[in-house]
């Protein structure tokens, strides 16, 4: 697969995955086409050597694996980890607001969203809706309005002359999307719009009552290759769907050695990973236990294993270069970044970093290193949590990007493909 094809499909994946639910659905569909069988956690598993399987939890966390050797003297895992969620505006349970002749939607901020860029964008809505059918059963469907259905207008500069110097954004007051103009004689309910959308996507379903939903807003602008020399990828959710997609492509094309190759994509990273399906859940450990049911074999395999936790890194910004430590300024196009933090906000050790550097040498891929300024707080990833939950050695890496957690982020056209080459070599090792 060429870099151009790889990036072209990446853009499609980003566009088709406005929520973690859609991301997982797309991961499942893509791997079904390449011979992976979908398992359910509640069923008995009969895994075969060389078999390709996948499993989901909560519709928004995903794991796929190719079963390797289970000989206690040599069994091991090659794991790639990423996350399916991104900061966004999440619809509140009682969302209807009617004021100043406008119908608006009450939203909650999910994760550490950069709010400024959400203003004046063409916004749509997607997610999961659960309903009660005529027999009293509960079912869920994914919906995606696709077209722009909302906008959060800025306040004009004439009404706030200080806007460029100091405009504060109050998340309760100012980030309230407008859906439509209110007709005086008509009661509006967001639930009616949901029913119409479900009918549009699925035809007449047996819906007695809508029970609940998990919906978020997203920017309709399609991902694009940008720049005079076509060097940038601009899109929403690069953090961290870019890593999910890169992991997918690497596993899909993997020709494993003896190790079990595994991709895990967790939900809820942006809110701390503590949930039934987040990195702090037993999900990954549960899958590993079913791969190696015998306890000592599992413990020995875990000690021979490595996880590459892939989550984008901050590239140095030409307009804000002093936000980076002078010796640690990863650049866009400079290859994957190994993330270091002595206080274990990243799980990288000198040993796991060395293994990653060695893979980069073998694949001819440039590699960069990142450590935060000492006077700034360091972010974290699923790396340290996964290490703590499984006992597996982890290296935290990521491709460099700008504008992390904006509604439109920027990365480079070379870096995801570089990472893909390294991950392929990792799965083959």
**Residues in touch with Co ion (CB under 5 A):** 239-240, 311
Pick 214 or 311: Cβ nearer Co ion: 311
Pick 39 or 307: Cβ nearer Co ion: 307
In the complex, the smallest distance separating the C-beta of residue 10 from Co ion, rounded to whole angstroms, is 16
Task: Tell the residue number behind the tokens 């002359």, with chain if given.
Answer: 161
Pick 311 or 409: Cβ nearer Co ion: 311
**Distance from C-alpha of 32 to C-alpha of 350, rounded to nearest angstrom:** 37
**Helices (DSSP H) in 95-226: which residue ranges?**
163-166, 190-202
In the complex, the smallest distance separating the C-beta of residue 146 from Co ion, rounded to whole angstroms, is 25
Bridge partners, residue 398, by sequence: 337
Question: Tokens representing 426?
Answer: 């990792």
Report whether 85 contacts 313 (CB < 8 A). no
**Distance from C-alpha of 32 to C-alpha of 26, rounded to nearest angstrom:** 10
Task: Tell the residue number behind the tokens 């047996």, with chain if given.
Answer: 206
Pick 60 or 240: Cβ nearer Co ion: 240
In the complex, the smallest distance separating the C-beta of residue 266 from Co ion, rounded to whole angstroms, is 11
In the complex, the smallest distance separating the C-beta of residue 235 from Co ion, rounded to whole angstroms, is 14
Pick 70 or 239: Cβ nearer Co ion: 239
Pick 194 or 332: Cβ nearer Co ion: 332
Question: What's the order of all strands across the beta sheet hosting 400-402?
Answer: 224-226, 232-235, 409-412, 400-402, 313-314
Non-local (6+) Cβ contacts of 276 within 8 A are 57, 58
In the complex, the smallest distance separating the C-beta of residue 405 from Co ion, rounded to whole angstroms, is 8
In the complex, the smallest distance separating the C-beta of residue 83 from Co ion, rounded to whole angstroms, is 6
Other CB atoms within a 10 A radius of the CB of residue 358 amount to 12
In the complex, the smallest distance separating the C-beta of residue 311 from Co ion, rounded to whole angstroms, is 4
If you ran DSSP here, which 8-state letter would residue 171 be given?
T
In the complex, the smallest distance separating the C-beta of residue 273 from Co ion, rounded to whole angstroms, is 11
The CA distances from residue 77 to 67, 137, 265, in Å, are: 9, 40, 16
In the complex, the smallest distance separating the C-beta of residue 57 from Co ion, rounded to whole angstroms, is 19
**Distance from C-alpha of 153 to C-alpha of 182, rounded to nearest angstrom:** 17
In the complex, the smallest distance separating the C-beta of residue 204 from Co ion, rounded to whole angstroms, is 40
If you ran DSSP here, which 8-state letter would residue 222 be given?
P
**Helices (DSSP H) in 135-227: which residue ranges?**
163-166, 190-202
Pick 240 or 390: Cβ nearer Co ion: 240
Question: Tokens representing 396?
Answer: 């935290």
**Distance from C-alpha of 174 to C-alpha of 34, rounded to nearest angstrom:** 46
**Distance from C-alpha of 149 to C-alpha of 399, rounded to nearest angstrom:** 32
Pick 177 or 412: Cβ nearer Co ion: 412
In the complex, the smallest distance separating the C-beta of residue 312 from Co ion, rounded to whole angstroms, is 6
Which of 269, 237, 278 lies closest to 111, judged by CA? 269
**Distance from C-alpha of 24 to C-alpha of 266, rounded to nearest angstrom:** 10
Pick 131 or 346: Cβ nearer Co ion: 346
Pick 104 or 401: Cβ nearer Co ion: 401
**Distance from C-alpha of 309 to C-alpha of 382, rounded to nearest angstrom:** 7
Phi, then psi, of 117 in degrees rounded to 5: -65, -10
Question: Tokens representing 169?
Answer: 């954004």
For residue 280, the SS3 value is coil
Pick 84 or 240: Cβ nearer Co ion: 240
> Beta strand 178-181 with 102-110: parallel, antiparallel or unpaired?
antiparallel
């Amino acid at each position: 697969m060429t870099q151009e094809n790889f990036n072209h499909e990446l853009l499609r994946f980003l566009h088709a995955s406005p929520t973690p639910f859609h991301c997982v659905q797309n991961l499942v569909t893509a791997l079904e086409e390449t011979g992976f069988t979908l398992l359910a956690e509640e069923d008995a598993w009969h895994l075969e050597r060389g078999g390709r399987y996948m499993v989901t939890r909560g519709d928004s966390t995903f794991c796929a694996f190719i079963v390797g050797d289970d000989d206690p003297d040599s069994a091991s895992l090659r794991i790639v980890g990423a996350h399916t969620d991104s900061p966004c505006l999440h619809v509140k349970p009682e969302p209807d607001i009617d004021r100043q002749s406008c119908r608006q939607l009450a939203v909650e901020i999910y994760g550490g969203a950069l709010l400024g860029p959400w203003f004046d964008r063409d916004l749509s809505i997607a997610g999961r809706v659960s309903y009660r059918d005529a027999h009293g059963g509960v079912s869920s469907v994914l919906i995606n309005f696709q077209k722009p259905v909302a906008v959060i207008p800025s306040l004009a500069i004439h009404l706030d002359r200080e806007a460029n110097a100091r405009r504060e954004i109050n998340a309760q007051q100012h980030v309230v999307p407008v859906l439509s103009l209110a007709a005086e004689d008509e009661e509006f309910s967001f639930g009616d719009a949901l029913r119409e959308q479900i009918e549009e996507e699925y035809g007449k379903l047996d819906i007695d009552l809508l029970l609940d939903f998990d919906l978020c807003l997203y920017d309709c602008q399609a991902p694009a290759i940008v720049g005079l020399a076509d060097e940038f990828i601009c899109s929403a959710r690069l953090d961290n769907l870019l890593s999910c997609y890169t992991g997918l492509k690497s596993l899909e094309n993997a020709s494993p050695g003896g190790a079990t190759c595994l991709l895990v994509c967790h939900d809820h990273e942006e809110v701390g990973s503590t949930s039934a399906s987040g990195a702090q859940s037993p999900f990954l450990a549960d899958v590993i236990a079913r791969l190696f049911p015998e306890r000592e074999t599992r413990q020995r395999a875990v000690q021979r294993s490595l996880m590459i936790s892939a989550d984008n890194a901050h590239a140095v910004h030409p307009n804000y270069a002093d936000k980076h430590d002078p010796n640690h300024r990863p650049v866009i196009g400079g290859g994957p970044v190994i993330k270091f933090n002595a206080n274990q906000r990243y799980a990288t050790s000198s040993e796991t970093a060395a293994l990653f550097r060695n893979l980069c040498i073998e694949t001819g891929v440039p590699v960069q290193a990142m450590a935060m300024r000492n006077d700034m707080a360091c972010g974290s990833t699923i790396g340290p949590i996964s290490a703590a939950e499984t006992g597996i050695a982890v290296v935290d890496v990521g491709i460099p990007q700008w504008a992390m957690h904006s509604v439109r982020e920027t990365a480079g056209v070379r870096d995801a493909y570089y990472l893909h080459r390294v991950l392929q070599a990792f799965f083959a090792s």
